Amino acid sequence: MNAYSKIYLEDAMNNLAVMLDYGGIADGDPQRFFDRFVVSSISKQFEKGNPKYIAGHSGVELAELVLKSTGAPKADITYSPSGRSPEYWSGWVLAYLQWHTGISFEQLLNQGIDINSLIRLYPTLHETDITKVLAVLLEILERNSNDHPPLKRQRKLAGLTQKQLAEHTGVKIRMIQAYEQNDQDISKAEASTVLKLARCLGCSVEDLIFVSHFI
């Protein structure tokens, strides 16, 4: 399930590319800047395809909003996007991956898609068709999803035990255990069950579903 209408995809890719390129320079570290983006409200608006953020602002404006909202010092740099840097390419493919899967940037980060990893892939993949790049990234997500079930990861991020999660949601602890051990497919659970779990954990429903179901 795509995150938003495809008519906004080109703008989203270009803006995230410039945002990451500019932000990495302004913040002094592309990964640190991306971490800022992930925890900011701007990433949540971007994930939902809010036109104000994916098309209404330039990439530079988005980067400055991220820096300001996360308490970074104001940048004083001269910047001209070239479209050639590893950081630019990383933002470009990240926007496509997030649109294609519909899952959050936070989950992508938690499942091994960080800026440093993308930059390492740049020499071999930056001239490759986006669909081939996507296949590589989906393979990474699939492998990491199997190693770290989303429900378990989100529960630990929330600081809850299985027992506490069961008490807060009314979902039986044996079902929570089954979802976390991959004995049961959470994507086939009742929608109300997944919604209760997501609300309790403070994440989206999509963050609890394996990436393979978005391919």
Rounded distance between C-alpha atoms, residue 70 and residue 64, angstroms:
10
Reduced DSSP (H G I as helix, E B as strand, rest coil) percent helix, strand, coil of the chain, to 5? 70, 0, 30
Contacts of 128 (CB under 8 A, 6+ apart): none
Structure-token pair, residue 53 = 């953020």
- DSSP H/E element including 18: helix 9-27
Which pTM was predicted?
A: 0.74
Distances 30 to 26, 83, 119, 184 between C-alpha atoms, Å: 9, 15, 10, 38
Domains belonging to the chain, first-starting first, are: 6-147 (no CATH), 150-214 (1.10.260.40)
CA 15 – CA 163 distance, rounded (Å):
43
> Are 115 and 91 contacting, i.e. CB atoms less than 8 angstroms apart?
no
Which pLDDT value is given to residue 75? 80
- The pLDDT, as a whole number, for residue 95 is 97
As a whole number of angstroms, the distance between CA 86 and CA 30 comes to 10
User: Block means of pLDDT (10 residues each) for the chain, length 215 residues?
Assistant: 90 96 95 96 94 94 96 87 88 96 88 92 96 94 73 86 95 93 86 94 81 48
User: How much is the pLDDT for 205?
Assistant: 86
Helices (H), 2-85: 9-27, 30-39, 41-47, 51-54, 59-69
Structure token pair of residue 190:
């009742």
CB 115, CB 31: distance < 8 Å: yes
Structure tokens belonging to residue 98: 């997030």
